[in-house]
Amino acid sequence: MASRSRNALSFTLPSRTRPLAALLALALAAPLAGCGAPRTKIDAENGMDARLRHPIALMNQRHTLDVFPSSGRERLDLRSQEQVMAFARRYSEIGSGPISITVPQSGPGAEAGVRAIEPIRRELAKSGAIAPVMVSHYPVENPSLAAPVRLAFEGLKAKVVHKCGDWPEDLASASSTDGWQNRSYWNFGCASQNMIATQVADPRDLAEPRGETPADPSMRMRAIGNVRKGADPATNWSTKNSSIGSVGG
């Protein structure tokens, strides 16, 4: 009887177990099948980037200020002075064209508004807003309400190109499969973009960076001197921590 090598041993599964083995092989291979499948790229092209969906634009718009003058004849009160000075500085930064001063045409605030024209002119000139000033009147519909003196000028303003709060699609998408793409809803990011546009100090910073300021000569010479000495040119910051138990005696 010829002997068989141990490596040459083989056996055949019974015919009843073959379908079960095939199903087991398919179950083990299913998780691996997704590794080579193409995946959808999620980026700005399909509307995921809120900066492209809700862009911030630089526009020439009207900047306004309502001043409620006091009963003084020669000068504005301190609060109104500060407001007019800030308004003038803003005009110097981003404004152009004339500054308009509109006073109430009738009612209790009409007389105080007329008296406030010259003090407002002086505060504007003192704060560096050198521009033509146009004075006009506006009608007062309700005399019982306080009627302010309105200042305005045209200047740059950062603003989202459309209003927030638009919901063109159903978030649940129960009636269709439109919400199955794992995309953010349309209004997502609009409030953040609007907040950035409102809080930016100079709208031009959103378009391009500011120019570099000159280098500090003393810091430069200190660093060069340390390099010549072979010392570390970096600044050493020393901190001294005190025991919290010794605070307060």
User: CB under 8 Å, gap of 24 or more: what pairs does 190-197 form?
Assistant: 190/50, 190/53, 190/54, 190/160, 190/164, 190/165, 190/166, 191/164, 192/50, 193/50, 193/51, 193/54, 193/55, 193/56, 193/160, 194/54, 194/160, 194/164, 196/56, 196/158, 197/56, 197/158, 197/159, 197/160
pLDDT digits (tens, 9 = 90+) for 186-224: 888 899 999 999 898 889 888 888 888 888 888 889 889
In a domain, 33, yes or no: no
Please give the single-letter amino acid code of residue 65.
L
241 DSSP 8-state letter = P
- Return the higher-pLDDT residue of 33 and 117: 117
**Phi, psi at 135, each rounded to 5°:** -110, 135
Quickly count: other Cβ atoms within 10 Å of residue 224's Cβ: 11
Number of domains in the chain: 1
Least confident of 19-28, 85-94, 161-170, 192-201: 19-28
In a domain, 139, yes or no: yes
Q: Which residue segment(s) compose the domain that 93 sits in?
A: 62-155
pLDDT digits (tens, 9 = 90+) for 10-24: 445 455 555 555 655
In a domain, 13, yes or no: no
pLDDT digits (tens, 9 = 90+) for 135-150: 999 998 888 888 899 9
At residue 89, the pLDDT reads: 92
In a domain, 138, yes or no: yes
- Return the higher-pLDDT residue of 177 and 158: 158
At residue 21, the pLDDT reads: 59
Q: What is the mean pLDDT of the chain?
A: 79
In a domain, 194, yes or no: no
At residue 249, the pLDDT reads: 54
> What DSSP letter does each residue of 78-98 carry, written as one string?
HHHHHHHHHHHHHHHHHEEEE
Domain CATH number, residue 112: 3.30.1330.60
In a domain, 150, yes or no: yes
Q: How confident is the model at residue 27 (pLDDT cuts 50, 70, 90)?
A: low
In a domain, 178, yes or no: no
In a domain, 126, yes or no: yes
With a CB cutoff of 8 Å and minimum separation 6, the contacts of 11 are none
